[in-house]
């Protein structure tokens, strides 16, 4: 018992314990499939195949750097005790893939080959598949495209 408040140490939870408990709850809900499904993405004009392919930018599309927020999951959950940490969970997975795993794999490839990948196909084979990187699922009509000129992974999507 705490002599000043009359509360035991369990009743006075620190913010760290609250966050840890919320993350355990989110992980449990995600593992059992109890999280609400996000709203389905609106179909875009002339949807491109989701399977990553290389090549020049298709007409009527825009490209942006593949970064946190481009994935299909983690959007549309709203705000709340469960949904806010769920969104954070998916954003964290995207940050790990884009900012840590791909960056590290590119550094290793450049050190070994003394160059960056020359094509989208080489990037997907030598960077993504060789290092078992799970790229976040993209909304319908979006696709990953590696740009050898900028040495960055991009997401191509229909222009709105």
Are 75 and 20 in the same domain?
A: no
If 0-12 CB within 10 Å is exposed, 13-18 middle and 19+ buried, where does residue 96 land?
middle
Determine, yes or no, domain membership for 110.
yes
Q: For every one of its 160 residues, what pLDDT tens digit does the chain have, with 9 covering 90 and above?
A: 555 555 555 555 556 566 566 566 555 555 555 444 444 444 433 333 344 445 566 777 777 777 776 765 655 556 677 667 777 777 788 888 888 899 999 999 999 999 999 999 999 999 999 999 988 888 888 899 999 999 999 888 888 7
Domain limits at 122? 50-158
Say yes or no: 85 and 142 in one domain. yes
Query: Considering only CA atoms, which of 156, 154, 149, 142 is closest in space to residue 119?
Result: 149
Q: How many domains does the chain have?
A: 2
Cut 0.85: pTM above it: no
The answer for residues whose C-beta is within 8 angstroms of residue 104's C-beta and 6 or more apart is: 131
């Amino acid at each position: 018992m705490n002599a000043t408040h009359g509360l035991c140490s369990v009743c006075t939870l620190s913010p760290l314990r609250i966050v840890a408990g919320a993350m355990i709850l989110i992980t449990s809900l995600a593992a059992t499939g109890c999280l609400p499904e996000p709203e389905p993405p609106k179909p875009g004009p002339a949807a491109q195949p989701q399977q990553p392919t290389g090549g020049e930018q298709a007409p009527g599309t825009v490209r942006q750097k593949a970064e946190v927020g481009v994935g299909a999951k983690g959007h549309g959950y709203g705000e709340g005790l469960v949904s806010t940490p769920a969104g954070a969970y998916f954003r964290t997975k995207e940050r790990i893939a884009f900012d840590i795993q791909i960056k590290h794999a590119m550094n290793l490839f450049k050190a070994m080959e003394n160059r960056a990948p020359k094509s989208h196909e080489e990037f997907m084979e030598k960077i993504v598949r060789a290092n078992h990187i799970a790229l976040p699922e993209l909304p319908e009509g979006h696709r990953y495209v590696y740009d050898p000129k900028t040495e960055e992974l991009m997401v191509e999507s229909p222009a709105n």
